Copies of this chain bind each other. A is one copy, B any other.
Amino acid sequence: MTDIFEVPIPDTDLLDKAENLRLASIKTCQTNNNERIRALCLMADSLEENSKEIIDANIQDYEKAKNKGISKALLSRLKLSKEKLNLGIEGVRKVGDLSDPIGQIQIKKELSRGLILERKTVPIGVLGVIFESRPDAVMQISSLAIRSGNGVMLKGGSEANLTNLAIVSALKKGLQKSNLDEKAICLLTTRKDSMAMLKLEKYINLIIPRGSNELVKFIQENTRIPVLGHADGICHLYIDNELNLDHALKVALDSKIQYPAACNAIETLLIHKDIAPNFLKKAIPIFNANNVKLVGDEKSVQLGVAFEANYKDWQTEYLDLILSIKIVDHLEEAIAHIQKFSSKHTDGIITTNINNANKFMSEIDSAGVFHNCSTRFADGFRYGFGAEVGISTQALPPRGPVGLEGLVTYKYFLRGEGHIVDDFSLGKSIYTHKDL
């Protein structure tokens, strides 16, 4: 995998594609809500009409990958059954049901008589999305991009190349029947091109990587284009000494095992020393019964945790059924640990003491701070956004689970009647600054 980690100079062919995409995205920017909804319907229809070609292409990809000896997990993600395809097509139609993120008026005011300022949401322009082998992602990402009026340059896993080509070909056929330019969707198929994408800062306005931590980190460090996403998801749960023990046990278990490979699963459990003996007496058998390997600090090992943790454990996103445990003297120690090791994704507290909860939620500067519930809720669909393009752990917006709203920006529109600044400097005109 290391050869993907080079950034070649974009060649003429890629630059041409990027320029065509940019021009198509300018047209896409200007479509109205109905045109974009209609385009999504036509894209979905076209996927249905071409489903045989797509499934056939996927069978070829699958056989090739199988012969190459690709892992079972990857094979199962690569496989696009008729059911999975239908769900994907249904997903494209559902994106049409989401409310229009474009043209929302955020500010409207009179600066002076006849001089009107508006701030309205507009598409970002061109998105660059690099994702893994799941071919259904092509449908989801393309439909979110079109819904929000953006162009999109896509690069999926090479194992799924034929499937992705068949899907994009169908999507483009749909777009051809719409008012949108089919060039608004552009699929890259070589690893070289996908890395050269990082240099296309004149054409691409936002990169969304959906892949391994290693890949995301590499992208963040090797492009001047803004990157929406997170590398690590080191989430914590702190068990306070004032608590409902049943809540603590079930939330801790759910936060770890409900889907351990997810970024919002916890890696470290912090436990107040006063409750630790009682909590661990009940928790250890439950974790054992669920095949969770526990590694802990000295104090927790004394209370029955099987393995000793080292410093690296506090920095590790296991993405697996492993949980590190630390006993703390007080809330402040838990907060200090989280401030040091959290990747600012999601951190939670279990307590019945509302002051402790508020202090925790105020002092921890992660994108999500949770009280008495599982960290696994940190997700765009669970938040009711209808779609999730990624989760950002950056300090600035958009952060946390990002829905369609993360694919738009805004622009200031100022309309006058020959207004000039000098008239205001000279006192001939005055600012009214009235909200409209």
CB distance from A20 to the nearest CB of B (A): 14
Contacts of A122 in B (CB 8 A): 365
A416 is contacted by which of B367, B372, B383, B397 (Cβ under 8 Å)? B372
Q: Using an 8 Å CB-CB cutoff, how does the interface string of A241-254 with B read, 1 for contact, 0 for none? A: 00010110011011
Q: Hey, which chain B residues are within 8 Å of A396, CB to CB?
A: 124, 205-206, 226, 409
Question: How many residues of A are in contact with the other chain, CB < 8 A?
Answer: 71
Contact B369 A411 (CB under 8 A): yes
CB neighbours of A418 from chain B (8 A)? 244, 246-247, 250-251, 372-373
Quick one: which of B357, B372, B395, B431 contacts A417, CB cutoff 8 A?
A: B372
* Interface locus among A269-277, A310-318, A419-427: A419-427
A382 CB, min distance to chain B CBs, angstroms: 6
Instruction: Point out the residue from B246, B363, B415 that lies within 8 Å of A26, measured CB to CB.
Output: B363
Q: How far is the CA of A221 from the CA of B201 in the complex (A)?
A: 13
Q: Interface readout for A363-377 with B: 1 if CB under 8 Å, 0 if not?
A: 101111111111011
Q: Is the CB of A117 within 8 A of B376?
A: no
Do B382 and A420 touch (CB < 8 A)? no
A7 at the interface (CB under 8 A from B): no
Decide: A415 near B371, CB < 8 A? Known: A124-B396, A226-B395, A409-B396.
yes
Report A395 CB to chain B, min CB distance, Å: 4
Does A5 touch B at the CB level, under 8 Å?
A: no
Query: A317 to nearest B CB, angstroms?
Result: 18
Q: Answer yes or no: A125 CB below 8 A from chain B CBs.
A: yes
A111: chain B residues at CB < 8 Å are 377, 382-384
Asked whether, in the complex, the Cβ of A400 is within 8 Å of the Cβ of B412, the reply is: yes
Residue from B221, B367, B417, B419 in contact with A412 in the complex, judged by beta carbons closer than 8 Å: B367
Query: A121 to chain B: closest CB distance in Å?
Result: 9
Report if A34 contacts B (CB, 8 A): no
Residues of B within 8 A of A206 (CB): 395-396
> Closest approach, in angstroms, between the C-beta of A23 and any C-beta of chain B?
9
Does A374 lie within 8 Å of B411, measured CB to CB? no
Smallest CB separation, A367 vs chain B (Å): 6
Chain B residues positioned under 8 Å from A416 (CB to CB): 370-374, 377
Nearest-neighbor residue (CB-CB) of A354 within chain B: B415
A109 at the interface (CB under 8 A from B): yes
CA distance A98 to B221 in the complex (A): 38
Residues of B within 8 A of A370 (CB): 413-416
Which of B220, B366, B377, B421 is in CB contact (< 8 Å) with A411?
B366
**A394 contacts B by Cβ under 8 Å:** yes
